Amino acid sequence: MTRPAYITPAALQSFIQSALAEDIGEGDHSTLGSIPREREASARLLVKEECKLAGIELAVEIFRAVDPHLAVELLWHDGDAVRPGETAFIVSGRVQSILQAERLVLNCLQRMSGIATLTHRIARLIEGTRAQLMDTRKTTPNFRLAEKWAVAIGGGVNHRFALYDMVMLKDNHVDMGGGITRAITSTRQYLAAINKPLRVEVETRNLAEVAEALQARPDVIMLDNMSLADMQKAVALIGGVCKTEASGGITEATIRAVAECGVDYISVGALTHSVKSVDLSLKVIKA
């Protein structure tokens, strides 16, 4: 699948090098002390539970960063649904290099596959509606790139990547900025002054705030923690003039009803902050 725009070569290498420095530091003394430098072998990524795979492309980049001479044979790809006992890939080359990359590869694959699996499951619950499942910024520090990538692989939509690529005026911005109208007006003046044509979203908590926001015409109006009845009224009031996002405590049990209110997006923080990692392991198959 096509990589999201934020997965640039520079961003990818920055993430990998930082993670390798954290894990390896001055050297993997366990491996360097016990494994002869010239020894080569192959290892396979063993899938231990049913999942939607995510992180395969990233794993290849990690192996390449550790040792460009490692060869990776892909048997399954990002987005594939796999069952226990499957081999996702086989990596071959110097044992020292494979072992030094092992933990970072597994950490990324296990968490990303967990996120993609959950995203896929929840996205299926709203099939047939206009709503798209969206992530949030409730991500693990320094791991956002991988977590949002996993959401995209699982069939979700990425919200803004960070604070710099979209404006979201939440309740604290509105309350401290003098209300919805003043906060949006001030923000647009600021964006014009710095020549940044960013999209603007504003959070609303009731129908009166929806009506006020509609007059200011932001790109997206968030409907935060509203009842289904109020959400339906809000969508009707907005009438497609602005995109709509439902947010706040939405679960697998309630998401279908929310989607049927006619919103464009449904954001679910649990996609990244409450996910269970998938059980995967890297096993030597030939030494």
Active site residue 57: no
- Give the Cα separation of 109 and 150 in Å (integer): 9
Please give the C-alpha separations between residue 134 and each of 128, 149, 231, 241, in angstroms, as whole numbers. Answer: 16, 12, 17, 20
Q: Choosing from 3, 23, 80, 103, which is the catalytic residue? A: 103
Q: Residue 167 belongs to what H/E stretch?
A: strand 167-169
Active site residue 201: yes
Residue pair 245/263 in contact (Cβ under 8 Å)? The answer is yes
Q: Choosing from 102, 147, 201, 203, which is the catalytic residue? A: 201
Q: Choosing from 3, 160, 170, 205, which is the catalytic residue? A: 170
- Give the Cα separation of 142 and 137 in Å (integer): 12
Please give the C-alpha separations between residue 183 and each of 174, 188, 241, 244, in angstroms, as whole numbers. Answer: 6, 9, 19, 18
> How many helices and strands in the chain, by DSSP H and E?
11, 12
The closest alpha carbon to 98, from 258, 230, 287, belongs to 287
Cross-strand bridge partners of residue 60: none
Q: Choosing from 3, 137, 138, 199, which is the catalytic residue? A: 138
**Roughly what angle, to the nearest 10 degrees, separates helices 207-216 and 180-193?**
30
- Helices in 154-224 by DSSP H: which ranges? 171-176, 180-193, 207-216
Residues recognised as catalytic: 103, 138, 170, 201, 224
